[in-house]
Structure 1
Amino acid sequence: MKPNTIFNERYKIINSLGEGGMANVYLATDLILDRPVAVKVLRVDLRDDQDTVRRFKREALATTELVHPNIVNVYDVGEVDGLQFMVMEYVPGHDLKTYITKKFPIPYQVVIDIMTQILSAVEVAHDHSIIHRDLKPQNILIDADGNAKITDFGIAVALADHSLTQTNTLLGSVHYLSPEQARGSMATKQSDIYSLGIILYEMLTGRVPFEGETAVSIALKHFQSDVPSVREFDSNIPQALENVVLQATSKVPRDRFQSAGEMSIALRESLAKKNVAKWQPEEIISGETKVLPVFDKQTVETLSPNQEPDVKKDTKKKMSRRKKWTVGAIIFAFVALILGGAILAMSSPKEVKVPDLSGMTVSEAKSNLADKNLKLGKITRTNSETVDSGSIINSTPKKNEIIREKNQVDVMVSKGKAKITIENYVGSNYEDVKTTLENDGFKVEKETEESESVTENEITAQDVTAGDKVVPSDTVITLTVSSGPKVYTLRDLTGYTRKSVQDYTNELGGNLTISEAYSDSVDKGQVIKQSPAEGSSFSKGDQLSVVISKGKKVTTDEFTRTVSVPFKSIVSESSSSVDEEKDEDKNSSSDDSSSSSSSSSESKVDENAIEVYIEDKSHNIDDIYERKTITKDTNFKLSFILDSGKSGKYKILRDGEVIAENDNVTKN
């Protein structure tokens, strides 16, 4: 399909991701959910193969049941224009084949981690009775975080139906093909185990164990040749780890791991085990061909009820060949009947008690069951708060139940206590996180610290690192929580001066607002009241308001006084007698001829310098209130502002001489 093609009226094709033997895969956008998807379409040349189409549908629908983090999700299946298709989760990254090429050599622990993920996915598929049949690195995707995801469950059965002569199609798969599949037998869960063993071999050595020019030649090696030793390639590989490869790739399916879960346990324990012997398959006792004994004359006569003892030897020699064959056949049938009955009696299954497997490992349980001529069946894994990881919790049938030999006993194996991944709680509300953690089974402890930048009750630190997986019942999580800025208790500021209040506010790091008001009880300049009140909590940046006293509120009297200032004319010394005469009688207006005649010889001053001083609420008696030059008698208006009951003062100087003064000026 070409880019920008709208497939099934929903998926917009972006580009091709690859072409396989059974299907072509495209990167597309789901136009409804707006997400990238991988669209896998069955090849055109296979759409008329009804058997392939039927199996494709059946397996595709079955795969939608597989919900597992290590299995590529199947979102949709259907048919468009006769072409079967599947829509799957798009996993950006590389397949395991490319990963091995780029990363080899791969650390053993990384190999085990990736294989454990793959085995977990295969175990879920097997639990749903789905066998992959085509497990290979090309069908395992590795995302950017190193997580493995298995794909191609949907066409595995259809692929298995095609002949090994399709060299170009199957050459990649045949490197991982089990011996029984190579012989044309039906694939089982142990067939997938074999393929996983070959994948593990390749991850440890960087190559596949068998190579050949044709798919058939490689397939022949799978059931004729032993898998080479990985320790011969890398002597540092632990024997226990090589044993996992050897057991998984055993030629006989029953000698392989009985489940993906069992293989996973052996793999996880392989790096810790020391002084382990090389794995060998169990000895298979094969039935040998029994040679029938040669029956002599006496035996024949004993076994023949109709014998004639008087018959002569030469007569018997003349017995026809036909009769000899008849007698021999009868004897053989009789002996076979006796032997068969004995074997049947010996091989008839006996009844045995199921042993108590609780607390055992899978290997120990397998050995104990073998002692009872029983087989280990399905292995189920679950978390347990009381049973250690890897140990058996119980079995089905249960211990001491009576069953026949050769039957299977299923076991449930502990995965240990369930673990929860710790999240990053910094910045979250403490009460919310505490409730969540306690509901999950954690014990939560709290530590507080003051902070000017983090709000109260917000988590600032945690002692268990985010991303760690821990057992809730075994874990105490300590959360450090902000108590907000440092909190002070306000003092009683009554009587504080303006300066002392400012200094105190600066000490607390607060902001101060000052207002003033009259007070009959608080002296002027001191605090009357405060907000917040005494004893309140106060932190840096908070607002403090105080009211400062202006003292008692006093009413004032405002009034004026008019003072008349007489003009004084000053005469020179030659006419001083005249001036003195005039002073004696100010009201004299004589202008007789003698006076007039004498004035012509006198010198006069025609103006007076007047200075006025007053004292009230606004003026001081030492400061000039008004200065003025007069040439005649003049009235001066003096304005007074006095507190009720208080008196004022005034003083008037004329040419430097006090001419009027009053020290008790009142309104009335």
Structure 2
Amino acid sequence: MIGEILGNRYQIEKLIGEGGMALVYLAKDNLLDRPVAIKVLRPEYSSDQEFLERFQREAKSAAKLCHPNVVNIYDVGQRGNTYYIVMEYIEGKSLKELIQEQGQLPVDLSLKIAIQISSALNHAHNNLIVHRDIKPHNIMITKDYRVKVMDFGIARAISSASITRTGVVLGSVHYFSPEQATGKEVTSASDLYSLGIVLYEMLTGKVPFEGDTPVGIAYQHVQAEIPSILEKRPDIPLDVVNIVNKALAKKPEDRFQSALEMEQKLSEAFNRIYNITPDKIPYTQINHLAKKENEQKTDEPRAIDATTIKAKANANNDSTMVFDQTQHALRDERDILSMSKKDNKEEKSSTNKTALKFILILLLVMLPLYLVLKVSMFLNVPEVVVPNIIGLTQDSAQTLLDRERLGFEIEAEVFDPDIPKGYVISQQPAADRKVKVNRNIRVILSKGPELIVVPDLLGLDIREAQVELQNKALEAGEREYVESDDVLPGKIIEQFPEAFTEVEKGTKVSLKISKAPLTTTFLMPDLTRRTRYEAELILSQNNLELGEVYTQYDSFLPENYVIDHNPPANSEVVEGSIVDITISAKGEPLSKPDSSLSTGLPEDNSDLTIPEIRIRGRKEREVSILVTRPGVIKIVVIDEKGSHDVYRAEHREGDFIQKVVGGMGIQGIPDVFIQVWLDGDLLNEVALADISQ
């Protein structure tokens, strides 16, 4: 598959992994210019239609998860008999590879990894997703020891298919919960048991149960006691041992009651052992904590015993005796006091001067150094790489930015028909750029689809209803004619959705239209590519009435041929329905109907009443916009076809936009409107009356 392109977007570059159910390739997303991982199902799975439907359903469900410790699923696709999942590409290695390389992992690292897995499971369980296959093979570790759990929901899809595939089961049975091994209902508690096995393996380098067959290993999970973790590694703290034992309880009710509870217990144990929360210290510093604590204990002042105190007291008494023996040589006690005071004063003055000089020198040296350090700290702010938060919820985006020490700023909230409310549409600066810490990342959030209040159409005829729907940016849906003795024929007696309900922009409104008793409905004949004369004959033969006649110039059809009509061909109509037609014309548009304009009718029918011809064509205007603040610019055209966006893009302040836009309308009537919006605010609106030349 190397070099192939899946979904007209993902170019396969190389094979990077193989599993029991799929091959994993590194690919390039040509649309977003980023690396992705693509998991392609093995052929033996592609022939089971029930499995494929379950697989796609579970993968789409897992794609809704959005968490820093969960591998994001971007897309699910199919090409022929090739089924694939497009995922976030993680640079690093699996936890299984890490254990195989290092054997027993440090306690601090094992706790940090288990805490992140618990956080991912808590998010999944809150979204009613049970992983069912937690094992080191499904856990990726990045270069900075961040955890990414993958294959959420996929294990459920393969659970029924994989039981006959020994290679798949053998890879997972070491981590089975007792209820999985006995075929009982699998709940979130099963994931916590599997996490307990993973934590056991990180701390000891081995899984607790080994065997020659999958059945033998599964039996041990159900019946055998977990081998003592302290026998394999005596230096494990008791708090950690208790957590492992509780997670590996045989009965689900004896385990932690939620992934959040297990995450909290792991964090508390980490805090007690290392006197710091696990998210406040990098892994490279953790191994030195115990050593540092031992060094601090040896540096504490030792207790002074009674013998030492007594010796000091005796020394003081001896000094007093010597002073008393020499006291007779002094002439007067007052002289002694006077001399003592004088000496103390001079000594104190000298000491004060020395201290003052020392302080001045210290200030002269330290002040410039302090200023240099402050300026250096201000200028040398550390940089971080901006994470990709597009497609995340507001809470998830804020959490991810907080971890990277970046701010979160909502620049605007706009309507979007495709992105749910509260999700990030765009970000500035873009992902993967390097910025200073504490920098605000400006985002535009979706307000979800724009909701429109459905107008009350009851009692209107079909033409009036179409105008009302177009004014509200809604569309006419299916029509059904119903016999009624109470309502005049051609009037609307029922609509769905009902009046005054809120629906998305562009929603189709189904209509029930009254018809006289015993009146039959029939399909509207196709009048296009016929002359106006032929069209009027067909309408007369079907007891249909000619309504408005519009003229469109520069058509590929000859003059006076029907280009379009309303109601359209093959829609249900009843006798007496009014039909509007649009006919072709050549030459320049006319401001008034020309009496010399050919009608396509025979000369002997010149006394036939001809409806007024209204000139119809395209109205255009060049729109020039100078963006005064950053945001999403949207240009909307409202014409006889309804409201539709003709331009939408995010712009920075100072950008200049120039674009020709327009719509269809009737000459001389201001019925085409052009609106310019910035982040949901209407900046300008113009109405076009004249057809473009």
Q: TM-score, normalised by structure 1?
A: 0.42
Q: Compare the two structures and name the one with the higher helix fraction.
A: 2
Q: TM-score, normalised by structure 2?
A: 0.40
